[in-house]
Structure 1
Amino acid sequence: MTYHVIVIGGSYAGMAAALQLLRARRTVLVIDAGQRRNRMAVESHGFLGQDGSDPAEIARVARSQLERYPTLTWIEGTAVAASGARDGFTVTTGDGDEHRGRRLLLALGVSDALPEVEGLAERWGRSIFHCPYCHGYELDRGDVGVIAAHPMSAHQASLLAEWGLVTLLTNGVLELDEPAETALAERGVVIERTTIGRIEGKAEVVLADGRGLEFAGLFTAPRNAPASDIAEQLGCELMDTPMGTQIRTSEAKETSIPGVFACGDAARVPHSISLAVGDGAWAGAQVHQSLVFAAAA
């Protein structure tokens, strides 16, 4: 069969988009590899109605609600290839099966390129974070460390001064000019230039000179890129942002390739569950309208 819409990626944005389409009685195929970006986190914050909930439970309940709609097909697998044009796309999954759809919606999520610091990856999403709005409050205005990853880390440190006493660990990757140092000092940010040796315990930074700095939590700003090359395969235009690379879309969430739409972390900044859900809901409605008015034309 040919689906009205194939959604690649079944996390928060993809499911929010699928819900709009299912409620418009369209046939929807969701292909999901089960790799939510926040799968390491045990609590989600800042999402109205779900503050403090387990993000895995939010996703489980959302999927169970989608499965009540008879026009949904859900495949647990990976989309490895996509080709075609508006009204005639083909998506191939890892098992070699091909699926056809009139529209594609890319809710690919992103990969996080973390700073190469021993002990960081193991604590990512648990005591090391990227979003102060999602995790800052729980640090109870304690000491906060920011591990520099690129020039935007200075902005991150300045913002985090709202949530605690901040130390910016430049770690050999960030050079600050005098105006930047002055601005940080005005925010009460301490600058630590000694490189990081490793991270231990919950959030203890051991510096190369042997000193240990205890923090209530750590933040960093990883470089992001779409978690799949499907958009590139289709020829979708990408764009650079201060946080990395994302898929360029119109206000209607359509990419540079007609009939291919994108939403969620791979197609917008900043990132959070709330923003992903809102972006997905808008994208789903726009995909539906593209079907309606194309048919009317």
Structure 2
Amino acid sequence: MIPIEFAVIGGSYAGMSAALQLARARRPVLVVDAGQRRNRFVDEAGATAHGFLGQDGRAPAAIAAEARRQLLAYPNVRWIDGLAEDAHHRPDGRFGFRVGGTEVSAARLVLATGVRDDMPPVPGLAERWGRSVFHCPYCHGYELEEGAIGVIATSPMAVHQAAMLPDWGPTTLFLNEAFTPSPDELALLARRGTQIERTPVARIDGVADVVLADGRRCAMAGLFAQARVHMASPVAEQLGCAFEQGPMGPFIQVDRMGQTSVPHVFACGDAARAAGNVALAVGDGAMTGAAAHRSVMF
């Protein structure tokens, strides 16, 4: 049994940021990490992270590794690589969970468990996720060098992307029979200069070529798609945390300080917001870690 005051489940950007605040408050902290960063596909593609002040253009793995090194320099921080399972309320008012064969008991929990992206079933799309298929124009749009951009529709949310992306390059919305835009949506896309292609998509080839069902090939510099998101861990549900429904999937309901519906359980990062990136995850973590610390005093 490991008794600890604060346990952070999830050791990516939000979790490490939260743990850092607790470490600097001189509190004992345990970080449990399953090693499945959401943006690991960017590293596999040899690409870099963008939009994070002071870290623009660095590999996501390098940012995470340096953050871990700095965090573990604090002697009151312990790190366990593994999957947190079987989270529950203990009779003594604390929280319990298991990592491998080890039981953990914590007075406060910070959930930074992240989400899993489920890509639409377009042949060739999932294989290019993080390489030439993206979800965030602020993270990846600039590097497309104002080349042709395609939006593969999977839901009405595609209109949001298709209306934004012309600032980064000439944009085509491939409806792919996912939905029918309303007259107001069509007017918005027309004002933004977005082209609309109604022929279904057969597959994605090359770097980001959209091959249509009639055989036409549309060469794109990059593609954007609306992946469905799911909780990467069942811990929040096991503890009874309330959820909200976002446009692409559920996320943990929290207040402005990261407190969930379960007292003394906090959440931050992508698991606790409708959409996010590295910079937002770090900010969420810093605020939530400080709020978790204050909860033992007030």
**Which TM class, normalised by the smaller chain length?**
over 0.9
The answer as to whether partners of 2:247 and 2:274 remain within 8 angstroms in 1 is no
Partner of 1:74: 79
The answer as to whether partners of 1:144 and 1:216 remain within 8 angstroms in 2 is yes
Q: Return the letter of the residue paired with 1:278.
A: G
The answer as to whether partners of 1:3 and 1:27 remain within 8 angstroms in 2 is yes
Question: 1:277, CA displacement in angstroms?
Answer: 0.2
1:88 aligns with 2:89: no
Alignment of 1:51-66 (within 5 A): 51-66=56-71
Question: 1:87, CA displacement in angstroms?
Answer: 5.0
- Deviating 4+ runs (over 6 angstroms): none
Q: Return the letter of the residue paired with 1:274.
A: A
Gaps of 5+ in 1: none
> For 2:176, what is the secondary structure of its paired residue?
coil
**2:162 counterpart (154, 157, 160):** 157
Alignment of 1:244-263 (within 5 A): 244-263=249-268
Deviations 1:256-293 (A, max 9, x none): 01111000001013311000000000000000000122
Question: 1:21, CA displacement in angstroms?
Answer: 0.2
Alignment of 1:105-184 (within 5 A): 105-184=110-189
Question: 1:83, CA displacement in angstroms?
Answer: 0.7
Alignment of 1:261-272 (within 5 A): 261-272=266-277
Q: Return the letter of the residue paired with 2:24.
A: R
> For 2:19, what is the secondary structure of its paired residue?
helix
Alignment of 1:197-236 (within 5 A): 197-236=202-241
Q: Return the letter of the residue paired with 2:139.
A: C
1:290 aligns with 2:295: yes
> Distance between the aligned counterparts of 2:242 and 2:208, measured in 1?
39
> Distance between the aligned counterparts of 1:184 and 1:241, measured in 2?
23
Question: 1:80, CA displacement in angstroms?
Answer: 1.5
> Distance between the aligned counterparts of 1:68 and 1:248, measured in 2?
32
> For 2:167, what is the secondary structure of its paired residue?
coil
Partner of 1:12: 13
Q: Return the letter of the residue paired with 2:98.
A: T
The answer as to whether partners of 1:87 and 1:259 remain within 8 angstroms in 2 is no
The answer as to whether partners of 1:147 and 1:169 remain within 8 angstroms in 2 is yes
Query: CA RMSD, aligned part only?
Result: 1.1
TM-score (norm 1): 0.96
> Distance between the aligned counterparts of 1:16 and 1:242, measured in 2?
26
Partner of 1:29: 30
Gaps of 5+ in 2: none
Question: 1:96, CA displacement in angstroms?
Answer: 2.7
Percentage of matched positions with identical amino acids: 55
1:44 aligns with 2:49: yes
